[in-house]
Structure formats: structure tokens, C-alpha cells
Amino acid sequence: MKTKQLSIVLIMIFLIGSAYGSFAQRRVVNTPRRTVVQGPRGTVVYRKAPPVVKPVRRLPAKAAVVHYHSRPYYYHGGVFYVARNGSYVRVVPPVGIRVAVLPAGYVRLVVGPSVFFYAGGIFYVEDVSSGEYVVADPPVGAIVSQLPSGAAEVEIDGKLYYEYNGILYKPVRTEKKAYEVAGKLED
């Protein structure tokens, strides 16, 4: 009987120890200037920039309402807003939302057989049948000359990247400063 109780206690200790070990695979250290995440795939360092969320009381006069999944977004000059607590906050548009006009200063990019339009950190593709532009996932390998203003420096396994809206950009050497879309951050 004592042997059976002892074996049950040992099994319980083993199970608790293994469960604790599975939670310890990812370690997050927050400091005022950066966040360090150590996990099974390596170490990622996020350098924190001060949040730049400035709500506005009024939208520009010619802002267009774009409904996406029954939620209204307000679009003007390449900037998307949503209503929050009686004001409007600038947001990154969801993939799939459609606009009639591209923002001023967009750049046309050809990646493989596809044509993308890039402005302010957002990639668009043209829907030829409707004539609208659809927000798209960034194509890996696309090279852009400018990063969005809210891009943050990220260090992954000792290499410098920039992150904006979960998309990683790595600096590349060309005639001028440029950045290549390296992929998406995993959750």
C-alpha cells in the first residue's frame, strides 16, 4: 500500500514538474526602453518607442466611410480611422478592406508576377473587376525605400530588423537606403 502511495506521489511530482517546464520555455523581460523575449526559436529584442496615438475629435471633411465586416472605418489620404469613445483614432487597416483611391505618393512594386502598390506601410493590390484597391498582406521579398513612421527597431538573434504592424523589414544595401519585407512576426 505504501509503495502505491509513494508511486502516486512521485507521478504527481513528475507531472507538476513537467507542466512547470513547459511554461518556462518562453521568458519575457520588460524594461522601460525594451522588451526581451527568449524562446525556443531564439531571442527577440523589441525597442520601445513612445506610443503615438493621438485621437482626433473631427475627421477630415472628405473622409470616406468604408465598411468592413460590419465595422465602419473612415479613410482619408491613406489614413484609416475608427471611432472610439467619442473621438477617432488612427489605425492600421485590416487585410481585405477596399478603397476607391490610392493615397498620394504611393509606389508601384512588382514582386514576381504580382503588382503591388505601397504607401505608408500598407500594401495594396488592384481588383481589376471593381477598379478598387484591396489592402493586401505584404509580399516577402518586396523592397521599399521608406519605412512607415511608426516602425520600431527589433533585434532577432543579434540581427537588426524593423517591425510595423507585425511585419518585419530588414535593411538591405542598394544604391540608396532600402528595406526588404522579411516576413511576419509569429504570435
- pLDDT, tens digit, for every residue of 146-172? 888 778 888 887 888 888 888 889 999
**Collapsed DSSP state (helix, strand, coil) of residue 148:** coil
| Statement: residue 59 has pLDDT above 80 | yes
Tell me the CA distances in angstroms from 95 to 57, 92, 123, 125, one per residue in order. Answer: 26, 9, 9, 11
Q: Are residues 104 and 120 in the same domain?
A: yes
pLDDT digit string, tens, across residues 76-109: 988 899 998 889 998 889 999 999 999 988 999 9
In angstroms, the CA 164 to CA 147 distance is 8
Q: Are residues 118 and 105 in the same domain?
A: yes
- What is the model's pLDDT at position 124? 95
Q: Are residues 110 and 122 in the same domain?
A: yes
Q: Are residues 44 and 123 in the same domain?
A: yes
Q: For the chain, what percent of residues have pLDDT higher than 70?
A: 80
18 found inside a domain = no
Burial class (CB in 10 A: 0-12, 13-18, 19+), 103: middle
Q: Are residues 157 and 68 in the same domain?
A: no
Q: Are residues 118 and 151 in the same domain?
A: yes
Q: Are residues 104 and 164 in the same domain?
A: yes
- What is the model's pLDDT at position 183? 85
Q: Are residues 185 and 109 in the same domain?
A: yes
Contact 135, 123 (CB under 8 A): yes
Q: Are residues 103 and 145 in the same domain?
A: yes
| Statement: residue 49 has pLDDT above 80 | no
Q: How confident is the prediction for the chain on average, in pLDDT?
A: 82
Under DSSP, the state recorded for 121 is T
Q: Are residues 133 and 82 in the same domain?
A: no
Tell me the residue range of the domain where 145 lies: 29-49+98-187
In angstroms, the CA 70 to CA 91 distance is 16
67 found inside a domain = yes
